[in-house]
C-alpha cells in the first residue's frame, strides 16, 4: 500500500525583488508501507527539501504530496500528517526540547493531547525500541551524539507514526554513533515494519536500504535497489557521489578487462567475485 | 629532527573530584617537518586532548610539549606565540566566522600576529588560493556562502597564519563526497607546497588512508600505534580490537587471504588494491 | 572551565521529597524562606533548623551535596558574620582590645543570621535538587494559571523557561569552543583595559549569536515536526495529584508558622 506519494512535485523559494529560486522540479515518487528507502544526493541536490514536503513543513508550489489519504496542502490535516510522518533532523542537540530524556520523549504525545497514562506507556515503549530505557531520567545534554539522536527518534516514535523520515541523522556523529543510529533504524524497519525514508550522502548507509533514490539538481535521476544503483559507478560520479569501496575496486578492475560482475556491493560480494576470478586463473 | 614532540605528556581532568579522568597517559610522540600524520582513535581515546595540548590550549598536568626543542610552557606568557606557530582548525570551523567579509575574517589571525598590511594582504590571497576560494568571494559576507565554502574560508583563516604545524580536527565532518575530496586534496597540496607539518584528526579510516603518510592511533589516552600508514593498516586485527574499522578494501584483502588466496601485502586504498590485484587477475584474461 | 557550573542542578531520585507535588513543594519552600525570618529567639530558630533537617532527610540526598550548595555564598556568610560580631554590641563583653569590642550579643546575632542564610540557601537548593527543571516550570505554569484571566500567556512563558534551561549548558559549551577557536587565531581575551576586553569579545559574541539563532531555528522546526501548536489541547505526561502526604506537608508548613509566631509571643527576643 502506498503511504507517501509525490506527484509532479515542484518547489521554489520566493526571492523578493528577484526571480524565485527553483529547488525541486517535477519530482514523482511513491513509498509503500514497510519500505526502507534511502534518498542519496550531494549537498544542495534538493533531498532535504523533498523530505520536508512529506510532513507538510514545506508545501509544494506545483504538483501535490499525499500522505495516505491526506493531501499535505490541506490545512485541516496538517497535524495528522505530521503525526503520521515523524521527522528526525540532522543536529541532535537542536531537536531535544526538554532537559530530561523522558520528558523530551513525552513532548510529541503531549502536543497531540494524548491521555497522560497513555503517554507514560508510549514513552516507555519508545525508549525501549531505541534501547535508551535505562537513560530515561538522565540529562539530555550529557548523552553522546548517538544517544541523543536515538532519543530524538524515540520522541518521534512516541507519536505512533507510520513512517520515519530522517534528514541526514548521522552527519554529525562519530562512527560509533552512526552505527547505533543505523542499527536502530534498520531494526525498526525489519522488526516493526516501520516505513523509513533516510536522507543521506553516505553511500554505505544507502547500501543498507532496500531501495535507493538518487537526486541531483532537484530531480530524481536514479531509482532502484542498491545493487542496481551502485553498479552505475560513472553516473554516480558525474553527480558528485561516491560508491562503496568494494564496488569501486571491482569497477576499476573491470575497466582493466577483468571479468567481474557489475553489482558488487559489500566486502563479502567482492571477496566472492574476486576469489572466483582468481581461482579461475590459476 | 622533530618540529614538535611530546615527552611523557599526561593530562588528567577534574583532579580530586569524583569525575577524575585520565585523558592522556605518558604520551611521547614526535612529528617531523613535512610529515602528514593522521590521528585516529574512537571518541574519548584522547586524540582531541592531545592536539589541544600541542598548541597550548590545555596545559599538561605532567610532561612536556616541545616545539623546536623548547618547552612551550617554559614562558607561559608567550603561549600566544606558540599558537601562531602551531595552528589549529577546530571541528566545524565555519561556526567561528564573525567578520563582515571573508577577507577580513581570513585576515583576523595575521592581524593578531601584528604583521604589516602588505604582508597580511599577500597571506590572505595566498591562503584563499590554497583552499580554492574565488577572489570574488573575498568581499562577500561569510554568512552568505554555502556550507563547504564557509568551511574553506575558516581553514584559510588558520593557513594564513602560516603555522609550522597545522592541526585539523575532522575537517571533512558533514561534507558530501565531493566537498570532502576537495578539502583533503587541498590539505595535501598545502603540505607539499609549504613543507609544513600537518596533523589530521579524523574518524574516517578512508580519509586517513588516502591522505596521510603516517598514522598515530590513540587508545585510552595512550599511543597504541604510530607508524607509516601502510604498517598501521596492515594490523587490521589490532585496529579492530581498538574498536576502529579498517577501510573496506583492506577488509576485502583480508577476506581473500582468509580464503587462502596469496594476495601479498595489504592494500588500504582502492588504487593500491587494483594495482596489486591486476597482474594476477589479468593472467586469466590473457590465457 | 565554564562547564563546571552546577547551580540549579537536578539529582534524579524517588525520595518522598522527589515525589511530592511540585506545586506543594514550591509553595512550602517559598513559605519556608519567608518563615525563616519570623523567629526572634533561639527556640524558634531551632525549630526552623529541625524542620529543614527533616526535609533534607526526606530528600535522601547526601549531606555532602547539600553543603556544596553553600560554598558559592560562603564569602557572603563570612562577611555578614564578621560585621555582626564587630559592630553589634550588647550583653557581656568578651573581648576588649584597642578598638575591637566583641560582645555576647554580637556573636549571638552573628550566629543567628548566619544560620538564617544557610537555611535559606539549603531550602532553595532542596527545591532545585529534587525537582527537574521541566517539572518546576510546569508547577509554576499551573500556579500562575489564574494570570491567564489577565491575558498573560502563562504556557508560553513556561515553555520559554523550559527551553532556556535546556539550552544553557549547550550554549556554555559552545562559548568554550568558540573561545578556544579564536584563541588559536591569536585573539587576546585576557589582557588589556575594559574597552579592549569588550572589543576582544566581538569575535566570540558574534559566532555565539549566529549559533544561537541557528539553534533556535532548528528547534522551531523540530517542535513543529512534533506537532507543537501552543498550549491549547495539550496534555501532560506527569499529572499533578495532591496526595495525602502533600496535604500533610502543606499542613506542616502552617503548623510551623503558627509555632514560630507563638514562640515569638511567649519568649523574649534573643536578637538585639
User: Which residue, among B19, B98, B147, would best test binding to C if mutated, counting the most C CBs under 10 Å from its CB?
Assistant: B98
- Shortest distance between the Cα of C180 and any Cα of chain B, in A, equals 7
Give percent of chain C with pLDDT exceeding 70: 97
A242 inside domain:
no
* B179–A244 CB contact, under 8 Å: no
Q: Which helix (H) or strand (E) holds B76?
A: none
C218 inside domain:
no
The cell numbers describing A224, all together, are 532502484
The number of helix segments (H) and strand segments (E) in chain C equals 10, 2
Q: Is C88 left (phi over 0), alpha (psi -120 to 50) or beta?
A: beta
C45 inside domain:
yes
Answer whether C90 touches A (CB < 8 Å): no
Contacts of C221 in chain A (CB under 8 A): 57, 89
Q: Is the pLDDT of residue B286 over 50?
A: no
Answer whether C202 touches B (CB < 8 Å): yes
C201 inside domain:
no
Answer whether A89 touches C (CB < 8 Å): yes
Residue whose cell numbers read 608567550: B78
CATH number, domain of A167, equals 3.40.50.300
| Those residues with Cβ within 8 angstroms of residue B232's Cβ, 6 or more apart along the chain or in another chain | B215, B217, B225, B239
- Domains observed in chain B: 1-74+164-232 (3.40.50.300), 247-287 (no CATH)
Q: Domain range for residue A30? A: 2-225
Average pLDDT, chain B: 90
Identify which of A55, A94, A111 has the shortest CB distance to residue C218: A94
Q: Can you give the pLDDT at residue A31?
A: 96
The cell numbers describing B24, all together, are 592522556
Q: How far is CA C135 from CA A94, C162, C242, in A?
A: 21, 9, 15
Dihedral angle over CA of C111, C113, C119, C120, nearest 10 = -160
| Closest residue of chain C to B113, computed from CA coordinates | C186
Answer whether A67 touches C (CB < 8 Å): no
- Report the alpha-carbon distance of residue B279 to residue B284 in Å, rounded: 9
Residue range C83-137, pLDDT digits in tens: 888 887 777 788 887 777 888 888 888 888 899 999 998 998 888 888 887 788 8
Total tally of structural domains belonging to chain A? 1
A244 inside domain:
no
Tally the C-alpha atoms within 13 A of residue C1's C-alpha that lie toward its C-beta: 16
Total tally of structural domains belonging to chain C? 1
A246 inside domain:
no
Q: Can you give the pLDDT at residue B52?
A: 93
Residue range B243-277, pLDDT digits in tens: 888 888 988 988 898 888 888 777 888 988 998 88
Q: What's the 3-state SS for chain A?
A: CEEEEEEEEEEEECCCCCCCEEEEEEEEEEEECCCEEEEECCCCCCHHHHHHHCCCCCCCCEEEEEECCEECCCHHHHHHHHHHEEEECCCHHHHCCCCEHHHHHHHHHHHHCCCHHHHHHHHHHHHHHCCCHHHCCCEHHHCCHHHHHHHHHHHHHCCCCCEEEEECCCCCCCHHHHHHHHHHHHHHHHHHCCEEEEEECCHHHHCCCCEEEEEECCEEEEEECHHHHHCCHHHHHHCCCCCCHHHHHHHHHHHCCCCCCCCCCCHHHHHHHHHHHHHHHC
| Closest residue of chain C to A93, computed from CA coordinates | C170
User: Which whole number is the average pLDDT over C58-73?
Assistant: 84
C183 inside domain:
no
The cell numbers describing A45, all together, are 541536490
Q: Can you give the pLDDT at residue B283?
A: 59
Residue range B11-55, pLDDT digits in tens: 998 777 667 888 999 999 999 999 999 999 988 899 999 999 998
Q: Is the pLDDT of residue C2 over 50?
A: no
Residues A254 and A234: beta-carbon distance below 8 Å:
no
A251 inside domain:
no
Q: Can you give the pLDDT at residue C68?
A: 80
- Report the alpha-carbon distance of residue B250 to residue B209 in Å, rounded: 10
The cell numbers describing A264, all together, are 558488487
User: Which whole number is the average pLDDT over C12-39?
Assistant: 89
Average pLDDT, chain C: 86
Q: Can you give the pLDDT at residue A19?
A: 82
Dihedral angle over CA of A251, A256, A258, A262, nearest 10 = 20
Residue whose cell numbers read 571479468: A259
C195 inside domain:
no
Least confident segment among A77-81, B106-110, B136-140, C8-12: C8-12
Residue range C143-152, pLDDT digits in tens: 888 888 888 8
User: Which residue, among C1, C11, C62, C181, would best test binding to B if mutated, counting the most B CBs under 10 Å from its CB?
Assistant: C181
The DSSP result for B84-111, as a single string, is HHEEEE-SSGGGG--SSSHHHHHHHHHH
Residues of chain A where predicted confidence (pLDDT) is lower than 70: 281-282
- Report the alpha-carbon distance of residue A162 to residue A170 in Å, rounded: 21
User: Which whole number is the average pLDDT over B120-130?
Assistant: 94
- Shortest distance between the Cα of B17 and any Cα of chain A, in A, equals 18
C224 inside domain:
no
Q: Can you give the pLDDT at residue C96?
A: 80
Q: Is the pLDDT of residue B117 over 90?
A: yes
Q: String of b and e for C242-256 (b: at least 16 CB within 10 Å)?
A: eeeebeebbeebeeb
Q: How far is CA A272 from CA A209, A269, A277, B265, C57, in A?
A: 21, 5, 9, 19, 67
pTM for this prediction: 0.86
Answer whether C115 touches B (CB < 8 Å): no
Q: Is the pLDDT of residue C3 over 50?
A: no
DSSP, collapsed to helix, strand or coil, labels residue C114 as helix
C199 inside domain:
no
Contacts of C169 in chain A (CB under 8 A): 139, 141
| Closest residue of chain C to B161, computed from CA coordinates | C185
Contacts of A245 in chain B (CB under 8 A): 206, 247-249, 252, 270
ipTM of the complex in this document: 0.90
- Report the alpha-carbon distance of residue B73 to residue B58 in Å, rounded: 10
Q: Which chains border C (3 or more CB–CB pairs < 8 Å)? A: A, B
Cα angle: B219, vertex B222, B227; to 5 degrees: 85
In this prediction, residue B285 has a pLDDT band, given cuts at 50, 70 and 90, of very low
Least confident segment among A21-30, A186-195, C33-42, C232-241: C232-241
In this prediction, residue C8 has a pLDDT band, given cuts at 50, 70 and 90, of low
Least confident segment among A188-192, B208-212, C165-169: C165-169
Q: Domain range for residue C52? A: 2-175+241-266
- Report the alpha-carbon distance of residue B39 to residue B29 in Å, rounded: 12
Amino acid at each position: 500500500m502506498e503511504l507517501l506519494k509525490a506527484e509532479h512535485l515542484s518547489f521554489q523559494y520566493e526571492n523578493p525583488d528577484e526571480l524565485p529560486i527553483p529547488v525541486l522540479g517535477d519530482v514523482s515518487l511513491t513509498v509503500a508501507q514497510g519500505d526502507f528507502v534511502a534518498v542519496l544526493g550531494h549537498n544542495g541536490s534538493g533531498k532535504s527539501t523533498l523530505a520536508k514536503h512529506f510532513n507538510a513543513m514545506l508545501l509544494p508550489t506545483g504538483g501535490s504530496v499525499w500522505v495516505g489519504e491526506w493531501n499535505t496542502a490541506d490545512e485541516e490535516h496538517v497535524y495528522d500528517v505530521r503525526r503520521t510522518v515523524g521527522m528526525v533532523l540532522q543536529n541532535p542537540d537542536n531537536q531535544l526540547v526538554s532537559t530530561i530524556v523522558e520528558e523530551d520523549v513525552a513532548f510529541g504525545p503531549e502536543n497531540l493531547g494524548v491521555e497522560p497514562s497513555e503517554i507514560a506507556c508510549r514513552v516507555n515503549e519508545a525508549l525501549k525500541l531505541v534501547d535508551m530505557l535505562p537513560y530515561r531520567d538522565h540529562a539530555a545534554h550529557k548523552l553522546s551524539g548517538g544517544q541523543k539522536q536515538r532519543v530524538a527518534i524515540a520522541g518521534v516514535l512516541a507519536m505512533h507514526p507510520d513512517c520515519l523520515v530522517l534528514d541526514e541523522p548521522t552527519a554529525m556523529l562519530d562512527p560509533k554513533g552512526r552505527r547505533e543510529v543505523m542499527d536502530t533504524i534498520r531494526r525498526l524497519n525489519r522488526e516493526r515494519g516501520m516505513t523509513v525514508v533516510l536522507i543521506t550522502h553516505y553511500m554505505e548507509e544507502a547500501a543498507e536500504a532496500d531501495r535507493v533514490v538518487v537526486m541531483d539538481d532537484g530531480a530524481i535521476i536514479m531509482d532502484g535497489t542498491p545493487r542496481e544503483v551502485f553498479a552505475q559507478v560513472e553516473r554516480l560520479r558525474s553527480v558528485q557521489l561516491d560508491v562503496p569501496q568494494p564496488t569501486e575496486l571491482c569497477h576499476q578492475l573491470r575497466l582493466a578487462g577483468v571479468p567481474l560482475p557489475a553489482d558488487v556491493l559489500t566486502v563479502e560480494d567482492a571477496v566472492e567475485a574476486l576469489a572466483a576470478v582468481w581461482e579461475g586463473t590459476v | 629532527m622533530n618540529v614538535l614532540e611530546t615527552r611523557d605528556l599526561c593530562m588528567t581532568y577534574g583532579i580530586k573530584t569524583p569525575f577524575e579522568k585520565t585523558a592522556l597517559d605518558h604520551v611521547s610522540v614526535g612529528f617531523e617537518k613535512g610529515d602528514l600524520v593522521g590521528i585516529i582513535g574512537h571518541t574519548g581515546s584522547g586524540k582531541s586532548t592531545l592536539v589541544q595540548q600541542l598548541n597550548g590550549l590545555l596545559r599538561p598536568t605532567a610532561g612536556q610539549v616541545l616545539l623546536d626543542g623548547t618547552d612551550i610552557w617554559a614562558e607561559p606568557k608567550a603561549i600566544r606565540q606558540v599558537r601562531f606557530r602551531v595552528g589549529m582548525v577546530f571541528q566545524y570551523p565555519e561556526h567561528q566566522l564573525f567578520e563582515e567579509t571573508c577577507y577580513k575574517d581570513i585576515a583576523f589571525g595575521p592581524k593578531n600576529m601584528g604583521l604589516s598590511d602588505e604582508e597580511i594582504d599577500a597571506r590572505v590571497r595566498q591562503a584563499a588560493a590554497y583552499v580554492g576560494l574565488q577572489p570574488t568571494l573575498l568581499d562577500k559576507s561569510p554568512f552568505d556562502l554555502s556550507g563547504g565554502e564557509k568551511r574553506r574560508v575558516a581553514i584559510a583563516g588558520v593557513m594564513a597564519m602560516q603555522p609550522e604545524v597545522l592541526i585539523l580536527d575532522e575537517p571533512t565532518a558533514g561534507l558530501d563526497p565531493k566537498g570532502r575530496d576537495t578539502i583533503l586534496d587541498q590539505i595535501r597540496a598545502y603540505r607539499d607546497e609549504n613543507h609544513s607539518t600537518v596533523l589530521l584528526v579524523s574518524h574516517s579510516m578512508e580519509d586517513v588512508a588516502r591522505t596521510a603518510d603516517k598514522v598515530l592511533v590513540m587508545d585510552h589516552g595512550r599511543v597504541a600505534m604510530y607508524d607509516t600508514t601502510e604498517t598501521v593498516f596492515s594490523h587490521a586485527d589490532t585496529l579492530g580490537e581498538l574498536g576502529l574499522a579498517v577501510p573496506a578494501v583492506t577488509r576485502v584483502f583480508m577476506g581473500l587471504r582468509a580464503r587462502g588466496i596469496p594476495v601479498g601485502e595489504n592494500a588500504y586504498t582502492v588504487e593500491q588494491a587494483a594495482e596489486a590485484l591486476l597482474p594476477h587477475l589479468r593472467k586469466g584474461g590473457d590465457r | 572551565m565554564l562547564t563546571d557550573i552546577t547551580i540549579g542542578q537536578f539529582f534524579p531520585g524517588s525520595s518522598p521529597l522527589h515525589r511530592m507535588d511540585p506545586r506543594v513543594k514550591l509553595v512550602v519552600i517559598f513559605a519556608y524562606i519567608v518563615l525563616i525570618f519570623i523567629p526572634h529567639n533561639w527556640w524558634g530558630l531551632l525549630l526552623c533548623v529541625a524542620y529543614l533537617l527533616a526535609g533534607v532527610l526526606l530528600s535522601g540526598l547526601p549531606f555532602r551535596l547539600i553543603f556544596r550548595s553553600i560554598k558559592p555564598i560562603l564569602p557572603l556568610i563570612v562577611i555578614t558574620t564578621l560585621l555582626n560580631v564587630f559592630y553589634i554590641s550588647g550583653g557581656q563583653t568578651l573581648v576588649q582590645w584597642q578598638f575591637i569590642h566583641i560582645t555576647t550579643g554580637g556573636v549571638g546575632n552573628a550566629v543567628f543570621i548566619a544560620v538564617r542564610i544557610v537555611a535559606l540557601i539549603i531550602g532553595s537548593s532542596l527545591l532545585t535538587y529534587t525537582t527537574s527543571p521541566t517539572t518546576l516550570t510546569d508547577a509554576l505554569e499551573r500556579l500562575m494559571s489564574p494570570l491567564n484571566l489577565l491575558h498573560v500567556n502563562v504556557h508560553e512563558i513556561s515553555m520559554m523557561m523550559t527551553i532556556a534551561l535546556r539550552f544553557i549548558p549547550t550554549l556554555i559549551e559552545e562559548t568554550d569552543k568558540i573561545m578556544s577557536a579564536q584563541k588559536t587565531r591569536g585573539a587576546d581575551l585576557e589582557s588589556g583595559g575594559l574597552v579592549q576586553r569588550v572589543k576582544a569579545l566581538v569575535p566570540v559574541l558574534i559566532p555565539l549569536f549566529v549559533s544561537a539563532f541557528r539553534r533556535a531555528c532548528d528547534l522551531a522546526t523540530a517542535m513543529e515536526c512534533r506537532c507543537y501548536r501552543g498550549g491549547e489541547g495539550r496534555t501532560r505526561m506527569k499529572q499533578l495529584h495532591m496526595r495525602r502526604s502533600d496535604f500533610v506537608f502543606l499542613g506542616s508548613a502552617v503548623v510551623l508558622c503558627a509555632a514560630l509566631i507563638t514562640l515569638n509571643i511567649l519568649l523574649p527576643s534573643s536578637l538585639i
